Structure 1
Amino acid sequence: MTDNELPLPVQAFPTMRGLGRANLQYLLKMSRTWTEPIVQQPVGQLPWGHITVLLDKLKTRAELDFYAAEAVQHGWSRGVLQHWIASRLHATKGAALTNFDRTLPEGSDAVRELVKDPYHLDFLELDGDAKERDLEDALVARLVTFLTELGVGFAFMGRQYPVVVGGETFRIDLLFYHARLHRYVVFELKTTDARPEHVGKLGFYVAVVDDLVRDDERDDSTIGILLSAGRNEAVVEYALSANNRPLASSTYTGLPPQVRRLLPSEGDLAQVAQDALGEP
């Protein structure tokens, strides 16, 4: 049966509703896409509105199955489903450079799934006239949106999170806890390309959190994510291979160069934290 040969719903099923031409075309497309019993597929567990979004926005069976499974697993609304399709989650999830295969021999697949590359920070909505204070305000005000971009399970623990080693205070850019995987997640932020020394510093922070913050009986190993404006993959891969802590390298999009230059430096952030705490 071709699209032009669809039966008239009123004539074929006079007592049924919702079988207009558009819905019949969706049903026909479904039958051609999922040739096996639909109830055995994740898509069979989704509301009709979700299914029409999938069929309208996606082309390949692999992409359709990916987003259907994610929507079922996480209970996405239709709006959230549309957001993740537009963000190309299928291409970014688990795409970061990592050393997890070596440092997390058991469970590395599950941990890799929570690290994306790139992260989309377009929601900051900053222009070239933004000042440093504007950027700081935007980061704080849009924290919930950033948590959404990170994915399900992340809980925010603090910004410029202080840890004391040998009487010296160090401050972690962003510290999160993943409630489902029971791991702390350290974010080191860079507005330049990732460098080997950045990976080394991140490994240091992960080791400190493991030793001073993590609960040995409850929590699994801490992981670290270096989030930078760009990277030389060969350089980063060497740096990751030389570190014995579970680390990942990701990039971000959404901040033009003129805005990235306005990001506060590590020294600026440290000074802001010291001022807030009244430290000399």
Structure 2
Amino acid sequence: MNEIIRGSNTLLPNGYAQWRKDIEHLIDTAKLHTALNVNVGTLTLYWNIGKSILQKQEQEGWGKQVIEQLSKDLISRYPDDRGYSVRNLRYMKRFASAYPDFPILQVPLAELRKLPILQATLAELENEGREFVQVPLAQISWYHHISLLPKVKDEAQRAYYITETAQNGWSRDVMLLQIDNGYIHAKGHAINNFEQTLPPLQSDLARYIFKDPYNFSFIGTVALQNELDIEKSLTSKITDFLLEMGRGFAYIGRQYHISVGGDDYYIDLLMYHLKLHCYVVVELKAVEFKPEFVSKLNFYISAVDDLVKSPEDKPTIGLLLCRTKSNKKAEFSLRGITQPMGIAQYETEKLFADVASALPQIEEIENKLDDLDLDNE
């Protein structure tokens, strides 16, 4: 029997490490299924309670005081259970009203196609020949649902956020942050040439992954800062940065050194995407987009493909992030470029200079005061 040494004087057979990982996978899968089953049970119970309240109020004219009495009675009957407060019972009623087809949300296929959803995900939801898709509600928790309902009124957009939350593993707070940051309007909107430079499946995934604009408000005000300052701010808050970039991004390094033809170059940010299976070169510009930025990014992509990328990695992708941009200039700049890249802008807290420029100047204030004095004479 082949044996290997593990730890101090402990002999274990070859293959133990992989076998242990397989066991851990079984445990993790079982825990996930248990959690999902608990969630389904909770949502089903709450929906049924909410539906019953709706029926009594709508069909028999019972008033709102019945919810207050029901809350007292349920808390008395089930003192160890949580979830029967007046507020939560009202949420149950709202939940049942919003989702009459529980346990799914039916959405017109045409409406969902308008949103930046991954085509593979859409294909999973589609029923051949039908005009509606069915989005399972149990993908997210009760606390996600009661936060989502008042925030997003449109059913198709709500279905979109349910799907995105489940796929990205967002907590309730992260989901709300993404909604407030306009995730649905930014996702998949970066100017790019992916369709011309990547295979169809890779192109669709890449187009979906990148956003425009990116919200870097977590780094605060960046007046008078250059690219290096912004890089430092982003990497000092790496958790927030990766959250804004999206699930699947892994941070490799900033000012990543490469040597080409005896000269040294430094890539602003080098990342790796686990779903795309490729390196992502991120170039930051603290100014408006200029066409010549594309040439430098193109050079870095080629260098990473040649010097860093391994044979099993997919082609490197570039992402150019600018303070502002003209979409038309960006589109023209990508024509004829054979390396895959996207161009987007980023937002931070409002620059002091921008705010100051919107305020009346001292001379204007003095002139207005002079005018008032003359009027009062």
TM over 0.5: yes
Q: Which of 1, 22, 28 is the equivalent residue of 2:93?
A: 28
| Paired AA for residue 29 in structure 1 | R
Q: Which of 194, 198, 210 is the equivalent residue of 2:289?
A: 194
Higher RCO, Cα 8 Å, sep 6+: 1
**Match of residue 55 from structure 1:** 149
State how 1:54-73 maps to structure 2 within 5 Å. 54-73=148-167
**Match of residue 29 from structure 2:** none
What's the offset of the Cα at 1:21? 4.2
* Cα deviations by residue, 1:17-53 (Å, 9 ceiling, x for unpaired): 6344433433333334333332563432322111111
CA separation in 2, counterparts of 1:94 and 1:34?
28
| Paired AA for residue 92 in structure 2 | L
In the alignment, does 2:97 pair up with 1:38? no
What's the offset of the Cα at 1:185? 0.5
**Match of residue 111 from structure 1:** 206
State how 1:175-194 maps to structure 2 within 5 Å. 175-194=270-289
TM-score computed with the length of structure 1 as normaliser = 0.81
CA separation in 1, counterparts of 2:224 and 2:293?
29
CA separation in 1, counterparts of 2:327 and 2:317?
19
- Mark the runs of 5 or more structure 1 residues left unpaired by the alignment: 261-280
CA separation in 1, counterparts of 2:224 and 2:288?
23
TM-aligned CA distance change 1:136 to 1:73, over 3 Å: closer
Contact 1:118 1:251 in 2 (8 A): yes
What's the offset of the Cα at 1:132? 9.3
| Paired AA for residue 22 in structure 1 | R
**Match of residue 75 from structure 1:** 169
**Match of residue 84 from structure 1:** 178
Contact 2:287 2:323 in 1 (8 A): yes
**Which deviates the most, 164-173 or 227-236?**
164-173
- The percentage of aligned residue pairs carrying the same residue is 36
State how 1:199-278 maps to structure 2 within 5 Å. 199-216=294-311, 218-257=312-351
What's the offset of the Cα at 1:227? 0.1
Higher-helix-fraction structure: 2
TM-aligned CA distance change 1:120 to 1:194, over 3 Å: same
TM-aligned CA distance change 1:119 to 1:78, over 3 Å: same
TM-score computed with the length of structure 2 as normaliser = 0.62
TM-aligned CA distance change 1:165 to 1:57, over 3 Å: same
CA separation in 1, counterparts of 2:235 and 2:186?
24
Residue aligned with 1:244, SS? coil
* Cα deviations by residue, 1:35-84 (Å, 9 ceiling, x for unpaired): 33325634323221111111121111122111111121122222222221
* Cα deviations by residue, 1:173-204 (Å, 9 ceiling, x for unpaired): 11000122211001111111111111121111
Contact 2:254 2:270 in 1 (8 A): yes
Residue aligned with 1:85, SS? helix
| Paired AA for residue 98 in structure 2 | T
CA separation in 2, counterparts of 1:208 and 1:19?
61
- Mark the runs of 5 or more structure 2 residues left unpaired by the alignment: 1-53, 105-133, 355-377
Residue aligned with 1:63, SS? helix
What's the offset of the Cα at 1:230? 0.9
State how 1:125-144 maps to structure 2 within 5 Å. 125-126=220-221, 128=223, 137-144=232-239
What's the offset of the Cα at 1:11? 5.0
CA separation in 2, counterparts of 1:131 and 1:104?
32
TM-aligned CA distance change 1:259 to 1:106, over 3 Å: farther
Residue aligned with 1:113, SS? helix
CA separation in 1, counterparts of 2:215 and 2:228?
21
In the alignment, does 2:67 pair up with 1:8? yes
TM-aligned CA distance change 1:48 to 1:165, over 3 Å: same
| Paired AA for residue 152 in structure 1 | R
Structure exhibiting the larger radius of gyration computed from Cα positions? 2
CA separation in 1, counterparts of 2:193 and 2:264?
28
Q: Number of aligned residue pairs: give it.
A: 259
CA separation in 2, counterparts of 1:98 and 1:5?
56
Residue aligned with 1:36, SS? coil
Contact 1:93 1:113 in 2 (8 A): yes
CA separation in 1, counterparts of 2:306 and 2:226?
37
Contact 2:279 2:315 in 1 (8 A): yes
**Match of residue 252 from structure 2:** 157
CA separation in 1, counterparts of 2:290 and 2:247?
29
CA separation in 1, counterparts of 2:344 and 2:226?
25
Contact 1:161 1:171 in 2 (8 A): yes
